[in-house]
């Protein structure tokens, strides 16, 4: 686990290089279209630190800054993903007009700072950028379960961005911060059934501060003396992450829930979320956080054939009555 001093230094490094000017390579970006605009004209995977042929470039966000009599400015951030996971972000300030070439002006968050950008916002004449530090690993094994920071840039009258403040806005979630439960929220499901083939884990932040969750819960099902560890998959028949290639980074507010879907292959084979004939059933499950050594045990009768758990996300299904 890196020291707090190392984590803070990564954030400070991002601010110190705000004056660095990028190369004059020209890119074109569609304004007010964060998804297509950023992804279509993003840097290459190699420029973002991914050398694998399986790497993909993903957008973190895009915000346009307009000034009377001045060329518009755009702040855009990207990261790449490969089999090693989500790599650090590259956030840049760009100059140009809609439909014309955009020129990189400055690097706001360089790759070398090892930060992952998870939010961009404009508020009271300032740009705020929410970033998360890695909890460990590095090239070849990234894990984004560190602290969350807010970087604030004051916007000058000519569109210049001046680094002003760095504020800690979240720490890694621990089991002491969360209430963990399991439910069968799917329409038509019967929570009193002898065994179910799909479930939703819910993690509610009971602390007074935001905390960071990312990755796959550690889940094992138990039946008598047998144990059935769940494998990690991005999605399945009853949920998960379909729109991205790596687990999201969740900044969980107090009293807010995050979720993760658990499902058995019996769900897909029988086209039902709650009846799993012919498949062994576990009486309870053990749930741990991705980067926490502890676990909680929940009485929950789930089928264990091909047991899978999907990443933590904000997606939420309300329990059926």
Segments making up each domain of the chain, as ranges: 4-170, 175-309
- Residue 15's pLDDT is 46
Per residue in 225-244, pLDDT (tens digit) is: 789 999 998 888 777 777 77
Q: CB neighbours of 32 closer than 8 A, spacing ≥ 6? A: 64
Residue 32 pLDDT > 50: no
- Residue 240's pLDDT is 77
Q: CB neighbours of 95 closer than 8 A, spacing ≥ 6? A: 71, 72, 73, 74, 102, 103, 105, 159
Mean pLDDT for 18-37 is 33
Residue 253 pLDDT > 80: yes
Joined tokens for residue 94:
């760009």
Architecture of the CATH domain 175-309: Sandwich (2.60)
Percent of the chain with pLDDT over 70: 72
Tokens 């004939």, located at residue = 277
Long-range contacts of range 273-276, CB-CB < 8 Å, 24 or more positions apart? 273/184, 273/186, 273/188, 273/189, 273/196, 273/197, 273/198, 273/238, 274/184, 274/186, 274/188, 274/189, 274/190, 274/193, 274/196, 274/197, 274/198, 275/193, 275/197, 276/195, 276/196, 276/197, 276/303, 276/305
Tokens 């760095």, located at residue = 166
Which among 209, 208, 198, 272 has a CA at the least distance from the CA of 235? 198
Please tell me the distance from the alpha carbon of residue 60 to that of residue 90, in angstroms, as a whole number.
Answer: 9
Residue 194 CA to its chain's centroid (Å): 35
Residue 44 pLDDT > 50: yes
Q: Which residue has the higher pLDDT, 176 or 155?
A: 176
Mean pLDDT for 60-71 is 79
Mean pLDDT for 254-275 is 73
Per residue in 95-132, pLDDT (tens digit) is: 765 456 678 888 999 999 999 999 999 887 789 999 99
For residues 164 and 153, the answer to whether their CB atoms sit within 8 Å is yes
- Residue 73's pLDDT is 81
Per residue in 289-306, pLDDT (tens digit) is: 988 778 999 998 888 888
Please tell me the distance from the alpha carbon of residue 80 to that of residue 56, in angstroms, as a whole number.
Answer: 5
Joined tokens for residue 219:
């889940």
- In a 13 Å sphere around the CA of 144, the CA atoms on its Cβ side amount to 28
Q: What's the mean per-residue pLDDT of the chain?
A: 77
Per residue in 174-229, pLDDT (tens digit) is: 999 999 999 886 654 554 555 577 889 999 999 999 999 999 999 999 987 789 99
Please tell me the distance from the alpha carbon of residue 244 to that of residue 258, in angstroms, as a whole number.
Answer: 17
C-alpha distances in Å from residue 96, one per residue of 20, 119, 178: 18, 22, 46
Residue 19: φ, ψ to 5°: -85, -5
Q: Which residue has the higher pLDDT, 77 or 34?
A: 77
Instruction: Please tell me the pTM assigned to this model.
Output: 0.80
């Amino acid at each position: 686990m890196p020291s707090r001093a190392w984590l803070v230094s990564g954030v400070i490094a991002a601010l110190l290089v705000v004056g660095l000017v990028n190369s004059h390579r020209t890119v074109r970006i569609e304004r007010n279209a964060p998804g297509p605009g950023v992804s279509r004209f993003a840097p290459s995977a190699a420029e973002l630190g991914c050398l694998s042929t399986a790497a993909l470039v993903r957008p973190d966000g895009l915000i346009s800054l307009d000034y009377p009599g001045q060329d518009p400015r755009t702040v855009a951030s990207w990261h790449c993903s490969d089999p090693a996971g989500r790599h650090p972000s590259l956030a840049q300030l760009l100059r140009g007009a809609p439909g014309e070439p955009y020129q990189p002006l400055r690097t706001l968050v360089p790759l070398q700072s090892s930060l992952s950008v998870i939010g961009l916002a404009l508020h009271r004449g300032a740009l705020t950028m929410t970033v998360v530090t890695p909890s460990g690993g590095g090239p070849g094994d990234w894990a984004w379960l560190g602290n969350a920071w807010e970087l604030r840039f004051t916007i000058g009258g000519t569109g210049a961005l001046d680094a002003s403040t760095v504020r800690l806005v979240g720490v890694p979630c621990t089991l002491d911060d969360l209430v963990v439960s399991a439910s069968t929220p799917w329409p038509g499901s019967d929570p009193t059934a002898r065994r179910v083939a799909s479930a939703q884990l819910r993690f509610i932040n009971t602390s007074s501060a935001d905390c960071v969750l990312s990755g796959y819960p550690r889940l094992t099902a138990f039946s008598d003396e047998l144990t059935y560890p769940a494998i990690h998959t991005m999605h399945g028949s009853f949920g998960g992450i379909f729109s991205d290639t790596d687990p999201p980074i969740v900044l969980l507010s107090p009293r807010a829930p995050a979720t993760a879907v658990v499902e058995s292959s019996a769900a897909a084979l029988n086209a039902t979320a709650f009846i799993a004939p012919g498949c062994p059933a576990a009486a309870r499950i053990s749930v741990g956080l991705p980067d926490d050594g502890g676990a909680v045990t929940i009485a929950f009768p789930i089928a264990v054939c091909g047991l899978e758990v999907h990443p933590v996300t904000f997606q939420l299904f309300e329990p059926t009555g």
